Structure 1
Amino acid sequence: MLNVSGLKVSYGGVLAVSKVDIEVAKGQIVALVGGNGNGKSTTLRAVAGLNQADQGDIVFEGQSLKGLPAHERVGLGLSLVPEGRRLFPRLTVQRNLELGAYTRRDKHEVAETLDRVYGWFPILKERRTQLAGTMSGGEQQMLAIGRGLMARPRLLMLDEPSWGIAPKFVTKVLDTIQHINEQGVSILLVEQNLHKALAIAHHGYVIQTGRIVMQGSGRELLESEDIKKAYLGL
């Protein structure tokens, strides 16, 4: 479904990603994990079209995305839930969700998607008239994911969904991500919480200083002695 090859991205001449090759097969959850400042978010933003790639190619369902602006990538079926959620705090929950469907032309089916999102996140239906900025961090993360799903993506990209939320919500959010995947949505997940991310991933990549240094199934990476020593403190 997604093939990223030889990706190189820099900010103002400073190299952030030097060589990234990753693939996401249809129906998979793929985790891109590693410490802060190693290029995880930069890679995701390059796929979404928010960061310009210096080199390499990004191919989605057989189509190169070179030169394609971000909103057109959304129209192809790529949706990014950004780090920090980036909600509209003074708008209601429902209005935030509706804005997630702004690129869609099938407006008559948006209500159907909204009902599906409310089914995945019942708390959002209960709070649909509440201002987004008054919700807890965990509830806001659910809203951000719901907004991403309103574009009806075939590949949903999630940037640090466990960031800044209470532990009880982390498990709930990751369980919901699994459920969404079971409904046919492929997932590319960026996470600092390596253990929890790899526990739900079909395949995983470890990125370090802008390069992929290890890959394998989620289980293989969790059982790797190198991973245990470097990232899990074991």
Structure 2
Amino acid sequence: MLEIKNLKVCYDDVLAISDVSLQVEPGKIVALVGGNGNGKSTTLRAVAGLNAAAAGSITFNGEAIHRLPAHKRVPMGLSLVPEGRRLFPRLTVLRNLQLGAFTRMDKHEVLRGIDEMLDLFPILKERATQLAGTMSGGEQQMLAIARGLMARPKLLMLDEPSWGIAPKFVTKVLEVIQQVNQTGVSILLVEQNLQKALGIAHYGYVIQTGRIVMQGKGQDLLNDDSIKKAYLGL
């Protein structure tokens, strides 16, 4: 579904990622893990069209997209839930969901999508008329994921979904990611919590200083001695 080949991204003249190649197969959860500042978020932003590719290619469903503007990638089936959630804090839960479907013209289907999101995230049904900025971090993350799903993506990209939320919500968010995947949506998950991410991923990539240094099945990476030593302190 998604194929990145030898991707290079720069911020001004500073190299952010130098050589990233990865694939996401249809219906799979793929985790991109590694320490802070190694290029995880930059990779997602490049796929979404928010960072320009200086070299390499990005192909989605067989079509090269690395030169397309971001707003043309969303209707193709790409949706990014950014780090820090980036909700509209002074708008209600319902209004945030509606804005997630901004590129869609099928109004009746949008209303049905909202109903589906409120069923998938019961807490949002309780908070439907509440301002997004007044909710807890975990509740906001649920809303951010639901808003991303309102675009009806084929591939949902999640950037640090466990960032800034209580441990009990981290478990719930991961369960929701698996639920969403079971509906047929592919997932590209960027997560600093390596153990949690690889625990649910079908396949994983480890990025270090802008390069992919390891890859394999999620559980295989989780059980790898070098991963345990470098990232889990074991």
Structure 2 CA distance for aligned equivalents of residues 161 and 129 of structure 1: 23
For normalisation by structure 1, the TM-score amounts to 0.99
State the SS of the aligned residue for 1:44: helix
Shift of 1:168: 0.5
Match of residue 20 from structure 1: 20
Structure 2 CA distance for aligned equivalents of residues 115 and 72 of structure 1: 26
State the SS of the aligned residue for 2:97: helix
Shift of 1:185: 0.5
State the SS of the aligned residue for 1:86: coil
Kept in 1: contact 2:52–2:66 (CA 8 A): no
Match of residue 154 from structure 2: 154
After superposition, residues 193-232 of structure 1 pair within 5 angstroms as 193-232=193-232
Match for 1:11: what amino acid? Y
Match of residue 95 from structure 1: 95
Shift of 1:112: 1.1
Give aligned-pair identity as a percent.
74
Question: Structure 1 residues 108-117 or 30-39, which shifts more?
Answer: 108-117
Q: Deviations over 1:117-145 (max 9, x none)?
A: 11110100110000000000000000000
State the SS of the aligned residue for 1:181: helix
Match of residue 78 from structure 1: 78
Shift of 1:216: 0.2
Structure 2 CA distance for aligned equivalents of residues 20 and 66 of structure 1: 14
1:112 matched to 2:112? The reply is yes
1:29 matched to 2:29? The reply is yes
Q: Deviations over 1:42-95 (max 9, x none)?
A: 000000000001001000000000321111100000000000000000000000
State the SS of the aligned residue for 2:37: coil
Match for 1:131: what amino acid? L
Structure 1 CA distance for aligned equivalents of residues 233 and 76 of structure 2: 41
Structure 2 CA distance for aligned equivalents of residues 142 and 233 of structure 1: 30
Shift of 1:167: 0.4
Match of residue 40 from structure 1: 40
Structure 1 CA distance for aligned equivalents of residues 217 and 67 of structure 2: 32
Structure 1 CA distance for aligned equivalents of residues 88 and 66 of structure 2: 30
Structure 1 CA distance for aligned equivalents of residues 67 and 23 of structure 2: 20
Match of residue 182 from structure 1: 182
Match for 1:45: what amino acid? R
For normalisation by structure 2, the TM-score amounts to 0.99
Unpaired runs of 5+ residues, structure 2, are none
After superposition, residues 30-69 of structure 1 pair within 5 angstroms as 30-69=30-69
Match for 1:138: what amino acid? G
State the SS of the aligned residue for 2:58: strand
Match for 2:164: what amino acid? G
Q: How many pairs are equivalent? A: 234
Structure 1 segments, 4+ long, off by >2 Å, are: none
CA RMSD in angstroms, aligned pairs only: 0.5
State the SS of the aligned residue for 1:7: strand
Structure 1 CA distance for aligned equivalents of residues 50 and 81 of structure 2: 12
Question: Structure 1 residues 56-65 or 110-119, which shifts more?
Answer: 110-119
Match of residue 8 from structure 1: 8
State the SS of the aligned residue for 1:36: coil
